[in-house]
Amino acid sequence: MADAVQLRSAWMSTAEYDPDSKELEIVLDDGKSYTYSNVPAQIYQGLISASSAGKFFRANIRDRFPET
């Protein structure tokens, strides 16, 4: 995975993305982490550049990609 990127969110802390496996790991402020598979690079780029990562996550990642 690449280095963790700090997210602009009230409840999400960081995101890491592996372009080879297309896995996205999101770490919450409470330390819990979630990994999603088959995530395209453009979705990751959208997440880390979003003014609200939480809103982007709910609209574009949650319930759209399998959690591993």
pLDDT in tens, 19-39: 999 999 999 999 999 999 999
Average pLDDT over the chain reads 96
pLDDT in tens, 50-60: 999 999 999 99
Q: What pLDDT does 1 receive?
A: 77
Q: Give the orientation angle of helix 41-49 with respect to helix 53-60, to 10 degrees.
A: 150
Residue 30 included in any domain: yes
Please compute the mean of the pLDDT values over residues 5-28 and round it to a whole number.
97
* The pair of three-digit structure tokens given for residue 54, joined into one six-digit string: 């939480």
> What distance separates the 2 farthest-apart alpha carbons in the chain?
29
Domain residues for the domain of 54 are 5-60
Query: In which residue are the tokens 């080879």 written?
Result: 20
Tell me the C-alpha distance between 51 and 63, whole Å.
Answer: 21
List residues bridging with 55 in a β-sheet.
none
Q: What pLDDT does 50 receive?
A: 97
- Domains contained in the chain, number: 1
